[in-house]
Chains A and B, each alone.
Chain A
Amino acid sequence: MKLHEYQSKFLFREYGIPIPQGRVAGAADEVQEIAAELGGVVVIKAQVHVGGRGKAGGVKVAKDAAEARRHAENILGMDIKGLRVEKVLVDPGADIRQEIYLAITNDRGARMPLIMASMEGGMDIEELNRERPEAIIREHVDPIMGLQDYQMTFIASAMGMPRAQWRSFGKILRGLYQCYVKSDAELAEINPLVITGDGELLAVDGKVIIDDNALFRQPALTAERDTSDEPESERQAREAGITYIKLDGQIGCMVNGAGLAMTTMDMTKLYGDADGIGPANFLDIGGGATPEQVAAALRIILSDDNVKCVLFNIFGGITRCDEVANGILTAYNEVKPDVPMVIRLQGTNAAEGNRIISEAQLPNIISAETLTEAAKRAVAAVKEGA
């Protein structure tokens, strides 16, 4: 779960990390008030879950409250890469002497937390990593022991942090590590952390991503979830315990298991790409899917008007093919799909599942023995219907 910039920075503040004294607003009037209160130069920043806000015109500097209001009128409601701006952060302008990058993330290869720090902050870290990887200091933290003082000294020294800032940098790094651990973050990033003209450190922009699997023990953060950029169909799927991601193709895929679901998508593209045919979605019904879940999944798949054929690929392990077959019948009678469905059931109780399907004698059902056959038949069905 991604946090917005303002949520990330307010979270940092709880861990003693200095941030600009800004506030969030949803209306231009409010922005004007906040700017007047702060006085002087302010920055208006769109709060959306995408990168490149600045280039899209979602970040503007204003000399006074009146200008702040004009910018807010433009930014609020603006469309940035398909997302509507609902909120802006109004921060006092900072006197920036130097921009620093500082982040902690999960290094899955090393299976340890990784601290990354660079005196060349401000820019996109991926770009910096491509162009000048040596400018980024990397330090792993023992997940059992936690961050040690000598590691903070090493990082400050190796990155070239001026000595005058070592002490305050150490406090910020320790705060960020605490924040990362206590929030179950996958990423806790300050970019830029700035050194001001007065030599103070200030977290001017921030990004935090929380591990979805840990949300059960993060009630306060869970309450901050902003689902406004989540498509309706994906929200319905999440609530039904199904993983669904909408794509652009014509073949709706219903599969058990994430790896096999991706593979099934790949097969529709492998055999359909030449004719512009491909997967309409990723959908994993999970292990041990119930008839109700199958029905919910089918409804979600068919809510996409691009879908011209549905491909069921079930390899029963924990999932039982007879239960899936019953789910397909329930869903069929409820949803009455008007597109052909290719059904391939294999593994646990496959014979029983196939019998249930064939005895129901539904119109527009195409059966398949193998994955390859199923993908080819789904592609053919889309072509015939076109």
Chain B
Amino acid sequence: MSILIDKSAKVLVQGITGRQGGFHAKLMMEYGADVVGGVTPGKGGEWFEGKPVFDTVRTAVQTTNADVSLVTVPARFAADAIMEAADAGIRLVICLTEHIPVADMMRVVAFCRARGARLLGPNCPGVMTPGQAKVGIIPAMVATAGNVGVVSKSGTLTYEVGFAMKNAGIGISTIVGIGGDPVIGTTFVEVLEMFENDPETEKIALLGEIGGSAEIVAADFIKNAMTKPVAAFIAGRSAPPGKRMGHAGAIVDGGEGSAEEKIQALEAAGARVAANPEEIPGLLA
């Protein structure tokens, strides 16, 4: 088992004829993901690497029975693309796109909830279940199959930690990038709950950063509802307050969201917090 995706996921790529979408669709197929087709409005009827391209997600789902969709379209069109997927009955929508306005995302999250679709992201690297499938841009080389679940706000930091775990001989059940934006579809707590219930996952690594209070809420959940051990790292200890650090979410204002308060909350919840992400494998051993 694993969470969110495995070999059986039938994957659509929205924006498959774009540069990024096409590049990553190929890598996903090489990895073993079952990419059943793509969607680009106006390019229905074309083919991409032997897979059909559709004008709409609805026709793509009717033809291919896809249940997962990867959104790679530019920010101006991404909110609409996510809603289109949710409306077509897609179970899991994964959005890589960054710079989507927050107001759009608040409406989109409410819409996905009403349609019963799970949204991951936006501005996230996607999901990878090592040895089975990946949907998104996580490089294949950063993980081998195993029993540690990884959940993270940040893409490249996740690669860093996955790679350090691999070098230490520690495998991963599923890597989930939830994204660093202020408003996201799936939170730390929801992923922690999935890992807690996944028999293949024995331990969890949580990678957070400054800004917002998602890690504090996660710490509460770890304390009250989890039996599996958690190792964590919080990026941004050296960041000055009031400055936005790239990720729209990574800003410390007033008392909310500093690295210190997140580290304290996680430690109080029994998580082992690393000062250096390359120490995470040691905390999981």
Contact = CB atoms under 8 A, between A and B. Distances in A.
Contacts of B285: none
Interface string A166-204: 000000000000000100101000000000000000000
Given A126-B255, A262-B235, A262-B250, A213 B101 contact: yes
B61 interface: no
B24 to A, nearest CB: 8
Interface stretch (B3-11, B39-47, B135-143): B135-143
Contact of B235 (A256, A259, A318): A259
A257 B138 CA distance: 13
A261 B239 CA distance: 10
Interface in B124-183: 125, 137-139, 141-142, 152-160, 163-164, 180, 182-183
A370 B280 CA distance: 14
Given A184-B103, A316-B139, A259 B239 contact: no
A371 B110 contact: no
Nearest to B103: A184
A265 B238 contact: yes
B76 A346 contact: no
Nearest to B210: A262
Interface in A232-290: 243, 245, 247, 255-263, 265-270, 278-279, 282, 284, 287-288
Interface stretch (A21-29, A38-46, A106-114): A106-114
A372 interface: yes
A291 B162 CA distance: 27
A351 B227 CA distance: 41
B207 to A, nearest CB: 7
A318 B126 CA distance: 13
B237 interface: yes
A312 interface: no
By CB atoms of chain B within 10 A, which of A259, A262, A284 has the most? Answer: A259
Given A282-B246, A317-B155, A260 B139 contact: no
Contact of A261 (B152, B240, B246, B276): B246
B212 interface: yes
Contacts of B154: 257-260
Contact of A213 (B102, B213, B214): B102
B107 A143 contact: yes
B155 A257 contact: yes
A382 B159 CA distance: 28
A347 B159 contact: yes
B246 A258 contact: yes
A134 interface: no
Contact of A111 (B153, B156, B183, B250): B183
Given A259-B209, A263-B160, A279-B238, A144 B246 contact: no
B106 interface: yes
B277 interface: yes
B237 A269 contact: yes
Contacts of B207: 259
A226 interface: no
A211 interface: yes
Nearest to B209: A259
A300 to B, nearest CB: 15
A106 B209 contact: no
Interface of A: 106, 108-109, 111-113, 126, 130, 142-144, 181, 184, 186, 211-214, 216-217, 243, 245, 247, 255-263, 265-270, 278-279, 282, 284, 287-288, 315-318, 346-348, 370-372
* In the complex, the 5 A-B pairs of residues with the closest C-beta atoms, listed nearest first: A259-B154, A258-B246, A257-B156, A214-B101, A259-B157
9 contacts: A106-B182, A109-B214, A261-B245, A265-B239, A266-B236, A266-B238, A284-B246, A317-B159, A318-B20
Given A259-B209, A371-B278, 19 more contacts: A106-B102, A126-B255, A143-B106, A144-B107, A213-B99, A213-B100, A245-B243, A255-B156, A257-B155, A257-B157, A258-B154, A258-B246, A258-B247, A259-B152, A259-B157, A259-B158, A262-B246, A262-B250, A315-B156
